[in-house]
A and B are shown apart, each in its own frame.
Chain A
């Protein structure tokens, strides 16, 4: 499979060239165009309960669109919201993705929802996150641009801006400084990461744009 990510950071989309019998699994609705020979079906990701769990708590769909053809073909997919698309190569490692950020993967990748613990309730990302594992290509998306950061030590991120992070990183929820600066800086709670690994951040949040837009709607 060959792929080309275009249009980042505003309108990321991915062109894919599938070889004979190669398969790509895409979030429902995200296919925007494809060669006319391609066939589509749907596939449950993982077991029934795992898929149900992912739908209920992971902000994702029970089924994924499955695209393939015996002779191969081309296909383009894009997320529902404007923003960047990022690729991550999994080879027997894990990546934690925030609920709703999953876009597509190759069949060797497993996606399951997992409870992030009580601290996740305050992360601004929902209490559950998605854990990608296995081998293959993974695509996820953000609202706004994606910043990739290699962390070694401590790193602070505003809640709502984390898209994905490697599980070698740990985080805790805290305020910025004392309670007064926490309340008045407009930052509220932050996530303090610790360890060594990669983190992906988004420059905007959908919740942010929705609350900015709300008082302006007539």
Chain B
């Protein structure tokens, strides 16, 4: 399998080259082109041996994660085949190695992963889920392989030695082992709200974080008043 970032920058996309016997999974709807020998199968996000109710619970969790309940799975019938993947919104697409590190993606930033990666949903907890803009449930990618994530704007990788503070709305993914708490930006509550940052995510521990340059809800705040009112 060869996963390459096909277009970089503001309109990122990826190409996955599959050999017979290999499998790639993506968020449903992310494929924009495929070779004729590629078989696409829709799989629901459930773990093996989970049974019917386990599947439903997994689906609910996936929906809360801002991800689609269904994933698309790609395999080639014979010979080599290609699948092109692009996120819905503009922004960078980044390839991440999963193996020695397990990555946890915030809701909406998972794009796809190779077959050797196990996907699981991770409930953030009610308080964190309610107050962070990153979705109630995160997607955990473990196992061995490559993961594709997408962000709104530029993606930067930050290696954390002694903590970092990230504004709510900028998180893409982080390595397992990092701990975070939802907190005020600094100083008192009034100061935190007045400085406009409101809530931030304070990370502790050692690991890596992927962050996006722009917060989609701030763009919404600028564009919203210029658009016609929505019918109830």
Q: Footprint of B on A, CB under 8 Å?
A: 6-7, 10-13, 27-36, 38-42, 61, 63-66, 76, 78-82, 206-207, 209-211, 213-214, 217
A82 near B90: Cβ-Cβ < 8 Å? yes
Choose among B90, B156, B170, B219 the residue that contacts A80 (Cβ–Cβ < 8 A).
B219
A78 near B186: Cβ-Cβ < 8 Å? no
Q: Footprint of A on B, CB under 8 Å?
A: 9-10, 90-91, 153-154, 156, 158, 162-167, 170, 185-187, 191-192, 194-198, 202-204, 211, 213-215, 218-219, 221-223, 226-228
B164 near A32: Cβ-Cβ < 8 Å? no
Q: A28-B195, A40-B195 are in contact. Are A13 and B226 (CB under 8 A)?
A: no
Counted as pairs of residues, one from A and one from B, with CB atoms less than 8 Å apart, the total is 128
- Most chain B C-beta atoms within 10 Å of own C-beta, residue among A12, A36, A214, A217: A36
Q: Which 10 A-B pairs have the closest CB atoms?
A: A28-B196, A65-B195, A210-B226, A36-B163, A80-B218, A10-B10, A11-B153, A42-B194, A29-B196, A40-B186
Q: Report how far A29 CA is from B195 CA in the complex, Å.
A: 7
A213 near B154: Cβ-Cβ < 8 Å? no
Q: A-side binding surface: helix, strand, loop or mixed? A: mixed
- Closest partner residue, chain A, to B186 (CB atom): A40
Q: Report how far A210 CA is from B221 CA in the complex, Å.
A: 12
Contact partners of A214 in chain B: CB under 8 A:
227-228
- Most chain B C-beta atoms within 10 Å of own C-beta, residue among A30, A78, A214: A78
A32 to chain B, nearest CB (A): 5
Q: Can you spell out 22 A-B residue pairs with CB atoms less than 8 angstroms apart?
A: A7-B213, A10-B153, A11-B214, A12-B213, A31-B197, A32-B167, A32-B211, A32-B213, A33-B165, A33-B211, A35-B164, A36-B165, A36-B204, A40-B191, A40-B192, A41-B186, A41-B191, A42-B194, A65-B185, A66-B195, A80-B214, A80-B219
